[in-house]
Structure 1
Amino acid sequence: MSSVRSGTPPLWRDSDFRTFWAGQTASQLGEHTSLVVLPLLAVLTLDVGADQLGVLRAVGQAPQLLLALFAGVWVDRWRTRTVMALTDLGRALALGTAAVVALLSGLSLAALLAVAFVVGSLSVLFDVAYQACLVRLLPREQLLRANSAVEASRSAAQIGGPALGGTMTTLLSAPIAVAAGAALFVTSFGAIIRMRRREEPAPRSPGRTLILRQIHEGLRFVVRDASLRTVCFASGAFQFFLAATMTAYLLFLPRELHLSGAAIGLALAATGPGALIGSLLAARLPGRLGHGPVLVAAAAVGDGVMLGAGALRGGSTGTVVALIAINLVFGALGQLVNVTIMAVRQALTPVALQGRVAATITFAGMGLAPLGSLTGGLLAAHAGLRTALLVSAAGMLLSPVLMASSPLARLGRTLPSPDGDR
């Protein structure tokens, strides 16, 4: 796939982009459906405690820490379409096997841990690959709009997936919920393989030393760029405390507020429309107000609103309405931050380093998520669900503080290009 092409069609007339977007959307929905099916299955049928739930979530997130940097090297050396297709098939196989086991003898906690780790590992590869693929697929001037569309579907999947998974687990059965996740990955595979534009991978020079050297190149590039370095620190702080928050949140809603599965799904699903709003804002606000000011303001308000969830009491209609409003704002402003951050990273990074820089930032951010999940579980077990939720939500505000005190906050309406690229 060429980085620049003459006569490039408008974004939504590009059949390869439409196919890519459809496959990425199905894959993200499958990923986030499976991520919530396993924890909810553990809570509702295995009656796990907060500490065990923290372990389950941490196992699913551990590949972000263990594999992200290597994934960046592999993606930069392989065809991204191949990586995405194979990881879709692998995740479908893992979840399909789990569904069969559940139908025959019932899933155990050990089986859930194994499936969560496999799906998490393959998701790391897919997520790095789709980010690198987008840069190779489209010219730079279309990336902001493309990122808005892609991140809208990803953020919607982050909440639509949990809502879908929770509803199916509650109303149907765990095996059907697991099988539905597998079917979504099969759908993504079918879309990805229809991409027609050929992509030439970088020349391969296998060897452990070279792989480590390539990882070092990605790390060095991020460390030397003040804006990208801040993205790493801010992402790490946010993902750590978000993981802790969500561990407490998933227990807080049914056990502290005594909400039904349907009410929980409705409240969480509000982030989906919020993500759509955030995507529309992301296509306009950074170019009008500046990327830095938008990042800081959106992160501060979006993260701060989660403190309101910890202040709620009871399971009344008013509580559900308040949760919907909180999740709507959180989804909208979180999406605005996600799209703007991705646009900054892509604009500041040469094409040849896109996979490794994306993986480095993923490693710095998502790599801390397992520790955050464990921390949230332990805090909830020993200090109580409400305290754990409030403390974790307050911790997310460290992210905008880090951005506000860095050069990232001063990025203007137009982003610079990396030297020597294109």
Structure 2
Amino acid sequence: MGEHTGLVVLPLFAVLTLDASAGQLGVLRAVGQAPILVLSLFAGAWVDRWRTRTVMVLTDAGRALALGAAAAAGLFGWLGLPALFVIAFAVGALSVFFDVAYQASVVRLVQRDQLVRGNSALEGSRSAAQIGGPALGGALVSLLSAPIAAASSALFFALSFLSIRRIRGAESIPGRLERPPRVWRRIHEGLRFVVSDAVLRTVCLASAAFQFSFAALMTVYLLFLPRELHLSGTAVGLALAATGPGALLGSVLAARLPNRFGYGPVLVAAAVLGDGVFLCVPALHGSAAVTVLALLVVNFVFGVGGQLVNVAVMAVRQTVTPDGMQGRAAATITFVGMGLSPLGSLLGGFLAEEWGSRTSLLATAAGMLLSPVVMASSPLARLGRTLPVT
């Protein structure tokens, strides 16, 4: 809830309150995503040697404090664009460490034959947050104020901090050496492992193609909805929230479809469905109820396809990766896959200024289809109902 509320609050505050331009919104999103490029590999090398619970608790506390500071600054009228950039970078940096630890924690807490069901359950709970987070964030910005919305995000991170602290399950940590290799050597080992594996290498390339195009699309999308379709903050949040129910359904399907049709076919089909649906958005006009309904359908379908891909890919990665390499493998894929997101956000802002939001939306939506093309032409598409275990 904290994450998905915050993802809507900061951009909407910039657009609706500070009247940020397309280029400024692109910079704001790029600043929030820059830590992925800068810190992911270090996070992976670090997480592999620490309890994931400790990492997640500390980063939740940090995000609560950062957004709490944003709320206080907003109440005193200090929350301008420079302050938003600082907050976005801080939250993004802490999120990098949390996400790497989150992915590695699953393997340490459950058996390998439970990974698909475990990931499905966890992603299902995250999908529930996708339902309420964007709608709540948009409503709070529209009805109350950006500082109140930021405070709600801080509260959710504080609740997450308290919840994760209560985990008492035994966590198996890979053995620590008395003199562990230097961080650069551990990073190199992770990079070499991912590059040498054909399946993981494909996951990296497909993720990079998707995340770059998706970052560009979302920058344009967050401009297109309020300015071109004249939707309120509440309507924007509601439209984005439709991803949540779709992702919830995707989580349920991800626990069943790969065992019936095979991981490869499900991955490719889900990516085509989820990414291709955005090609319909540029055809929408006006702010009538039918437009909002169409946006709900688009985001719902995107949620189903995207979550199917997320859960299946995570299970594939966790299964083929040794325990002592989980953090570094996750971080390497995050680095390669999402490292281009800041550039995508900047490109989205540039295209919106040069081409207009409607044409830019069509171009970036088409770019997202590069991801299923990469998967379809790789060994990933040939994975069957069972996964190779390392």
| Same fold flag (TM > 0.5) | yes
CA distance in 1 between partners of 2:224 and 2:178 (Å)? 50
**Structure 2 unaligned regions, length at least 5:** none
| Residue 145 in structure 1 maps to residue 117 in structure 2 | yes
State the TM-score, normalizing by the size of structure 1. 0.90
Corresponding residue for 1:289? 261
What is the SS of the residue equivalent to 1:417? coil
| Residue 311 in structure 1 maps to residue 283 in structure 2 | yes
Corresponding residue for 1:14? none
**Structure 1 unaligned regions, length at least 5:** 1-28
Corresponding residue for 2:214? 242
Contact 2:134 2:238 (C-alpha < 8 Å) held by counterparts: no
The letter for the 2-side match of 1:259 is: L
Corresponding residue for 1:220? 192
Superposition RMSD in Å: 1.3
What is the SS of the residue equivalent to 2:168? coil
Contact 1:73 1:355 (C-alpha < 8 Å) held by counterparts: yes
Q: Residues 249 and 67 of structure 1: is their aligned pair in 2 closer, same or farther, counting only changes over 3 Å?
A: same
How do 1:194-205 residues align onto structure 2 when only pairs under 5 Å count?
Answer: 194-199=166-171, 201=173, 202-203=175-176
CA distance in 2 between partners of 1:235 and 1:160 (Å)? 26
Contact 1:275 1:335 (C-alpha < 8 Å) held by counterparts: yes
| Residue 127 in structure 1 maps to residue 99 in structure 2 | yes
What is the SS of the residue equivalent to 1:294? helix
Corresponding residue for 1:25? none
Deviations 1:180-221 (A, max 9, x none): 1111111011111111134364426678x7111111111111
The letter for the 2-side match of 1:286 is: P
Deviations 1:144-203 (A, max 9, x none): 111011122334434532222111111111111111111111101111111113436442
Contact 1:76 1:354 (C-alpha < 8 Å) held by counterparts: yes
What is the SS of the residue equivalent to 2:161? helix
| Residue 171 in structure 1 maps to residue 143 in structure 2 | yes
Q: CA deviation at 1:98?
A: 1.4
CA distance in 1 between partners of 2:347 and 2:172 (Å)? 43
Which stretches of structure 1, 4 residues or more, deviate above 3 A after TM superposition? Answer: 155-160, 198-202, 204-207
Identity %: 69
CA distance in 2 between partners of 1:237 and 1:251 (Å)? 22
Q: Residues 206 and 43 of structure 1: is their aligned pair in 2 closer, same or farther, counting only changes over 3 Å?
A: farther
The letter for the 2-side match of 1:383 is: W
Corresponding residue for 2:327? 355
Which among 298, 301, 319 is matched to residue 329 of structure 1?
A: 301
Judge which range, 254-263 or 321-330, deviates more. 254-263
How do 1:20-419 residues align onto structure 2 when only pairs under 5 Å count?
Answer: 29-158=1-130, 160-199=132-171, 201=173, 202-203=175-176, 210-418=182-390
Deviations 1:388-411 (A, max 9, x none): 100000000000000000000000
What is the SS of the residue equivalent to 1:314? coil
CA distance in 1 between partners of 2:119 and 2:128 (Å)? 14
The letter for the 2-side match of 1:406 is: S
Q: CA deviation at 1:106?
A: 3.1
Q: Residues 138 and 284 of structure 1: is their aligned pair in 2 closer, same or farther, counting only changes over 3 Å?
A: same
Q: CA deviation at 1:297?
A: 0.7
CA distance in 1 between partners of 2:112 and 2:135 (Å)? 34
State the TM-score, normalizing by the size of structure 2. 0.97
The letter for the 2-side match of 1:174 is: A
Total equivalences in the alignment: 389
CA distance in 2 between partners of 1:206 and 1:247 (Å)? 45
